[in-house]
Chain A
Amino acid sequence: MFNGKNYLRPSTLEEAWTLNQNKNNKIIGGMLWLKMGHKNISTMIDLSDLGLSTIEENDQEFRIGAMCTLRELEEHSGMEQFFSGMIRNSIESIVGVQFRNLATVGGSVYSRFGFSDILTVFMALDSYVELYKGGIIPLEKYADMPYDQDILMRVIIKKRTRKGVYLSIRQTATDFPVLACAVSQNQEGAWKIIYGARPGKALAFESGLPEKPGLSDIEEAIGKLKSWGHFAGNMRGSAEYRKALAEALLRKAIRYTMDMTRA
């Protein structure tokens, strides 16, 4: 059972940031993880009043507020169209609608969980995070940063991706992924291949695939994947199994992505 002494809902980012500098305080996000812990929290900081609950769209990008729920993200028609269902696919297997109505984008991205579907799919797109003090930085860089006390305000996704797919293998339909694979190709034809739930957090695999890969290109990429060395075992699957899945998912993902081009 978690313990929290005080609850505050700051009305400015500065106020929230100041509160968050005390290590005994915690930003509560969607509460889903926090409530399972056994932490003693001095002040629970709720970012609900900071205008971070919207998804804005303009010609260049989508701006997703940290307090947006996964359900809002999943249901967003603009992103559905632009990213051909990739984001929805990455989210719709997460527990259930009631859960996704609470879980926040900020909570997911900040936590940088190994099993995170969201981090995986975002990394396959042109994504940035906006931090209150740290400014706008690429998501890939953020994923590698240590946890700090800055405030994650929003995730920004540039409209540069042309198409992509999100595939995951799960023991049951609503479980964490055993392995997740997000693949995309941007306007210049460059591929991004991200593996999540390796079981470590999402990581880019440099495949070296050309814009229009032939069979031998794919086999070459698979060969590289075999010696990639970033898969490990945990209670959901062995490293050997994940390697075999990684290969299978990559083949499928490339095939599906190229099918999109043809269509």
Chain B
Amino acid sequence: MKIVNTSINKMDSKSLVTGKPVYTDDIAPTNALIVKLLRSPHAHALIKSINKTNAMKVPGIECILTWEDLEQNRFTTAGQSFPEPSPQDRQILDRRLRCVGDPVAIVAGSDEKSVLRAISLIKVEYDVLEPILDFRKAKDNEILIHPEENWEALCQVGADNKKNLCAHEVFEYGDIEGELKACEIVIDEIYHTKANSQTMMEPFCTYTHLDTYGRLSIVSSTQVPFHVRRIAAKALGLPKSQIRVVKPRIGGGFGAKQSVVSELFPAAVTMATGKPAKMIFTRKESFTNGSPRHEMEIHVKLGANMEGDIKAIYMYTLSNAGAYGDHGPTTVGLVGHKSMAIYNHANAYKFDYDVVYTNNPWGGAYRGYGATQGFFALESAINELAVKLNMDPIELRRKNLVQVGEKMTAYYGETLESCALTECIEKAKEMTDWDHKYPCRDMGNDKIRAIGMAVAMQGSGISNLDIASAELKLNDEGFYTLMLGSADMGTGCDTILAQMAAECLECQVDKIIVHGVDTDISPYDTGSYASSTTYITGNAVIKTCETFIEKMIQESAKILHCDNDDLEFDGTRIYQRNGEKQITIKELGNASYLGGHNCISASESFYSPVSPPPFMAGIVEIELDKTTGQVDIIDFAAVVDCGTPINPNLARIQTEGGIAQGIGMALFEDVLYDKEGRMMTDSFMQYKIPSRLDVGKIRVEFESSYEPTGPFGAKSIGEIVINTPAPALASAIYNASKVKLTELPMTSEKILLGMLENEKQDKHDFTGGW
């Protein structure tokens, strides 16, 4: 069969392109109460009193909940396997408000206008406290963000609420001090990456109701339905058995929906009133109280000899968790462990970090999950090293890249089983005519064209932690039902997993129906994050198919009165290898629906002791106006090794989309706050994501290795694709302007003012080499 590695259309494409009502807000009951929040205007405050008398008088208002009305259990909203590494540090409503927008009261009523009116009538007395708004000042500050006694860290992540520490760790291999001292050249830089908003097009949204059995049903746009069930149970003080979570089509996630963001508020209303309730975040709320990328400051020391052999890498990371620790202890790990692993031949590595609480909005998961920040820092340092050594950055990398069969020191000691990074780089070089374009060319008319590159890796699921299961059923007429617990958020994983099943079952995909996630009936899956679905859930599908085929053979043997061992399956029938007997899958399906036979189903689960990295090379060509600092992207060439692309079209779109997001992050996406900690970039008017006029031409090719532990040789694709644009652009900008930028975004302003500064220092040289 040849279903895997073909670009079939997504199974839901027709309903999506014809605008069918398949998203949460489209299917919510029309009588659902509208739920909105009164949010804190202060970055740090205690609620002294809340008076809701006047607000309750607004016609149509059903309930107003404040902190006194709800459970005081502390939990984390990070969608992670239990026990979560993220500290148990929040309540649905809390007396202490830790950032602007923290919820003060939940208001539910028959329509939006009444609810907004009621919100405006709630009287709150605040005890306004001094906030910490600079994450560099948070550690050991006398102001404590989480002084509460019932704050708890369930895992050993180095968290200490009395020091504003959400996590702290030191990883060290070899003698870092000694090696750095011995190096002939050391790059020593501090990089600063900002918060970024995922801005999936569908905002956070949830509706809730009580089902026929009086259980709480949560229908939500989430990447982690099973984690939502567990977290909601703890937050609401309900047994898990009393909660059902259903995931309809999702309008994008990118990690934002790996946290419980909108679910608990309508759930609390439904529990309080018994009525259906719905909460649709405004875009503003999605910006101000979503779960953006963690702001980080990364100090890199990169040591090498004059031949360009990298001897030592040190990375210290300060990460801004914001008000709550969602994903704080885990995102930071990827900063060093993913980036340093590519340069595996050093004698010493050190990676240590502090993750601190502040009164900024809390961070969360965003595609790349710390690796993106880490690669901006380390790849920028590598590019700077190339400049200092007067060496082509491609040559420098070639000398130092990790090779298949090596144990990766910085990557938990995993052995690299598959890697085509060298081929990726070569291909990208060829695609862009690197040798002729590096480093830059003066085009006249104030314009300079320059080129820059970066490489990256990621993982495929979380080793030994992520788990996925699949279930397969044979129906009458011989079609199959594939039950999955992973959440398709638009990536097409429902289709990709069906392709894998079709490959195993030697049939076309239209023989398989896929059921999206409903925690009451779907098999368990940790969820769609950490680039896990193709690899982890894919392997679960293959295992399930193997067992399922055995079961079909067993049942056929009974019907045909022969031995299991004599029978074979060819996709349409089960037949005797050396005989006449056979039964078609249709006949078997029909028979299995009659007494005297057995219904046929199978379910298997899978976890992985390793997380095989996909790789990627990105080369960008820009045109820079030296009088204005404006950067236009001419061409972005990306070559990816994701193992076998199960669906090349969908893998390509993942790559193009990730690069576009990376371009936004690199050049203009910037979360800005005023001095009181209020977000100023809380709309698409002020927080600009790339339009189709801002991304230039993105070209994607694949250089596929074969990952022996992967399903059909596949590794992941979803996250790695966002990691190269920032460092590649930083390098191209330097090559065009000689301005070294270490802080994102790299706006035209920073470039122009940098050029003017260089000019002052008489370093004006736009066209020469080094």
Residues of A within 8 A of B (CB): 1, 3, 96, 169, 171-176, 178, 235, 237-238, 240-241, 244-245, 248-249, 251-252
Contacts and interface: CB of A to CB of B under 8 A. Distances in A.
A173 B753 contact: no
Contacts of A238: 749, 753
B753 A1 contact: no
Given A172-B693, A176-B685, A244-B753, 9 more contacts: A1-B112, A1-B116, A174-B693, A175-B688, A235-B686, A241-B749, A248-B628, A249-B628, A252-B627
Q: Nearest 9 CB-CB pairs, A to B?
A: A173-B693, A248-B627, A241-B749, A172-B688, A171-B668, A248-B628, A172-B694, A174-B691, A175-B688
Interface-central residue, A172, A237, A238, A245, by most chain B CB under 10 Å: A172
A169 B748 CA distance: 9
Task: Categorize the interface residue count of chain B.
Answer: 20 to 34
16 contacts: A1-B112, A3-B113, A169-B628, A169-B630, A171-B667, A171-B668, A171-B748, A172-B691, A172-B693, A173-B691, A174-B691, A176-B685, A235-B672, A235-B680, A240-B753, A248-B446
B57 to A, nearest CB: 18
A176 B113 CA distance: 31
A1 B34 CA distance: 15
A190 B753 CA distance: 33
Interface-central residue, A3, A96, A244, by most chain B CB under 10 Å: A244
B83 to A, nearest CB: 41
Interface in B740-770: 747-749, 752-753, 756
A173 B694 contact: yes
B690 interface: yes
Given A171-B668, A244-B756, A1 B749 contact: no
Contacts of A96: 691
Contacts of B112: 1
Contacts of B681: 235
Contacts of B667: 171
Interface in B680-706: 680-681, 685-686, 688, 690-691, 693-694
A226 to B, nearest CB: 13
A244 to B, nearest CB: 6
Contacts of A3: 113
A2 to B, nearest CB: 11
A237 B685 CA distance: 15
A172 B690 contact: yes
B627 A171 contact: no
B271 to A, nearest CB: 27
A248 B627 CA distance: 6
A169 B625 CA distance: 11
Given A1-B116, A172-B668, A173-B693, A245 B688 contact: no
Contacts of B749: 178, 237-238, 241
A169 B446 CA distance: 15
B255 to A, nearest CB: 23
Nearest to A237: B749
Contacts of A1: 112-113, 116
Contacts of A241: 749, 752-753
Contacts of B628: 169, 245, 248-249
Contacts of B747: 171
Contacts of B446: 248, 252
B441 to A, nearest CB: 21
- Would you call the interface of chain B mostly helix, strand, loop, or mixed? loop
Contacts of B630: 169
A3 B116 CA distance: 11
Contacts of B748: 169, 171, 178
Interface string B715-755: 00000000000000000000000000000000111001100
Contacts of B113: 1, 3
B520 to A, nearest CB: 37
B288 to A, nearest CB: 16
B411 to A, nearest CB: 36
Contacts of A178: 748-749
Contacts of B680: 235
Interface in B628-650: 628, 630
B753 A251 contact: no
Nearest to B745: A171
Nearest to A171: B668
Contacts of A244: 752-753, 756
A177 B630 CA distance: 13
Contacts of A175: 688
A251 B625 CA distance: 13
Contacts of A235: 672, 680-681, 686
Contacts of B753: 238, 240-241, 244
Interface-central residue, B625, B628, B630, B694, by most chain A CB under 10 Å: B628
Contacts of B686: 235
A174 B112 CA distance: 31
A3 B688 CA distance: 27
B9 to A, nearest CB: 28
A175 B694 CA distance: 11
A169 B668 CA distance: 13
Nearest to A234: B680
A26 to B, nearest CB: 18
Interface string B30-51: 0000000000000000000000
A1 B120 CA distance: 12
A251 B446 CA distance: 11
A50 to B, nearest CB: 30
A58 B191 CA distance: 60
A259 to B, nearest CB: 11
Interface string B437-469: 000000000100000000000000000000000
Nearest to B747: A171
B661 to A, nearest CB: 14
Contacts of B625: 248
A238 B752 CA distance: 12
A178 B688 CA distance: 13
A35 to B, nearest CB: 12
Nearest to B756: A244
Contacts of A249: 628
A173 B752 CA distance: 18
A178 B750 CA distance: 13
A252 B630 CA distance: 14
Nearest to B282: A1
A164 B113 CA distance: 49
Contacts of B116: 1
Interface string B609-638: 000000000000000010110100000000
B725 to A, nearest CB: 15
Contacts of B756: 244
A174 B692 CA distance: 10
Contacts of A169: 628, 630, 748
B752 A245 contact: yes
B88 to A, nearest CB: 35
Interface string B667-685: 1100010000000110001
B747 to A, nearest CB: 6
A221 to B, nearest CB: 16
Contacts of B694: 172-173
A172 B151 CA distance: 43
Contacts of A252: 446, 627
Interface in B297-350: none
Interface-central residue, A3, A174, A240, by most chain B CB under 10 Å: A174
Interface-central residue, A171, A235, A252, by most chain B CB under 10 Å: A171
A18 B667 CA distance: 50
Contacts of B691: 96, 172-174
Contacts of A240: 753
B693 A251 contact: no
Contacts of B690: 172
A241 B748 CA distance: 9
A49 to B, nearest CB: 28
A29 to B, nearest CB: 17
Contacts of A245: 628, 752
